[in-house]
């Protein structure tokens, strides 16, 4: 009630991206007050044997994770973990820092309980993330979501994933290859058969050079058709990829309640939140029907406990939330 009646109206006075930075920074600061983090954990963390899941070799205390994009630089993962998440995914991170797309680039659609973003992988670079992960507390499961810099042409994209993968390897529990954001020019073409196969094959070979095995997942777009998903599954299986995250944001604007004129004024970007849920659910269900044993993380539009249960029943082993939170 305090959030709905007081905090949320205040935050909505600010542009969406500014409000995000205010709220996360304040929450991080508050968590540094003695006992506050422990109190938060006692309120939000719920432990039960039935919630524990073992997926791609990792034992999760519960199946609910924080999706990539919320904490792009690994600045807030420790404070967010106090909210009871079973795991936290940070990134997308690129080899060198980049500003991302010009602001404004994050837009609220209250009528649809949705967001449109065209952030463009704004982040401080992989070296800055590594330094923060060196202070990671024990027992917290962290995934590293990696991508390519905007200025890197697609024919050289493998080099960017290579750099991030090798530098992060000692510090994260699993990796996610992000080739599905709509906000970096031509990135989604890396989902095509030949470039995707080359990338996954290369990253699998990099992993084979490491002393310890860590899972690699692929995050896919909701805008792929079934034939394209079939191609992805074939390439994933061929290259020992451990699972799929379904899905990223969508470029679709179908069936929105927000006036069309407002949507046009906002312009391009990825849509997340409630309107994405049904499509994400469809993709997860289709993946499960085609790959009964493949680990799947379901994400996209999950905003209620009922949504979470639906996603798990559709075949997701784990779920992630962001916009709904």
Contact 144, 164 (CB under 8 A): yes
Question: CB 16: neighbour CB atoms within 10 A?
Answer: 16
Distance of alpha carbon 320 from alpha carbon 318, whole angstroms: 7
Nearest C-alpha neighbor of 90 from the set 123, 59, 137, 60: 123
Pairing of the two strands 142-146 and 114-117 = unpaired
Q: Is 104 left (phi over 0), alpha (psi -120 to 50) or beta?
A: beta
DSSP 67: P
Reading the block at residue 17, the tokens are: 């991206």
Nearest C-alpha neighbor of 178 from the set 209, 155, 199: 199
CA 324 to chain centre: 13
The catalytic residue positions are: 181
Nearest C-alpha neighbor of 88 from the set 173, 162, 23: 173
């Amino acid at each position: 009630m305090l959030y709905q009646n007081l905090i949320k109206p205040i935050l909505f006075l600010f542009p969406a991206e500014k409000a995000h930075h205010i709220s996360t920074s304040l929450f991080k600061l508050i968590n540094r007050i003695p006992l506050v983090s422990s109190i938060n954990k006692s309120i939000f963390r719920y432990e039960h044997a039935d919630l524990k899941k073992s997926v791609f070799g990792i034992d999760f205390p519960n199946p609910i994770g924080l999706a990539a994009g919320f904490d792009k630089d690994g600045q807030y993962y420790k404070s967010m973990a106090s909210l009871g998440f079973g795991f936290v995914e940070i990134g997308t991170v690129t080899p060198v820092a980049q500003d991302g797309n010009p602001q404004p680039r994050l837009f609220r659609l209250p009528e649809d309980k949705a967001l449109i973003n065209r952030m463009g992988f704004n982040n401080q670079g992989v070296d800055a993330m590594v330094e923060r992960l060196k202070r990671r507390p024990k027992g917290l499961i962290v995934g590293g979501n990696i991508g390519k810099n905007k200025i890197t042409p697609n024919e050289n994209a493998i080099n960017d994933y290579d750099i991030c993968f090798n530098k992060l390897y000692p510090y994260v529990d699993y990796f996610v290859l992000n080739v599905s954001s709509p906000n970096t020019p031509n990135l989604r073409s890396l989902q095509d058969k030949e470039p995707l196969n080359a990338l996954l094959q290369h990253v699998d070979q990099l992993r084979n050079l490491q002393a310890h095995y860590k899972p690699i997942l692929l995050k896919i777009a909701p805008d792929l058709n079934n034939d394209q998903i079939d191609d992805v599954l074939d390439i994933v299986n061929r290259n020992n990829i451990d699972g799929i995250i379904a899905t990223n944001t969508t470029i679709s604007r179908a069936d929105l309640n927000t006036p069309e004129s407002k949507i046009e004024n906002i312009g391009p970007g990825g849509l997340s939140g409630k309107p994405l849920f049904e499509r994400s659910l469809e993709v997860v269900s289709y993946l499960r029907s085609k790959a009964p044993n493949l680990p799947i993380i379901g994400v996209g539009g999950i905003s209620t406990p009922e949504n979470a249960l639906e996603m798990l029943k559709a075949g997701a082993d784990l779920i992630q939330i962001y916009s709904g939170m």
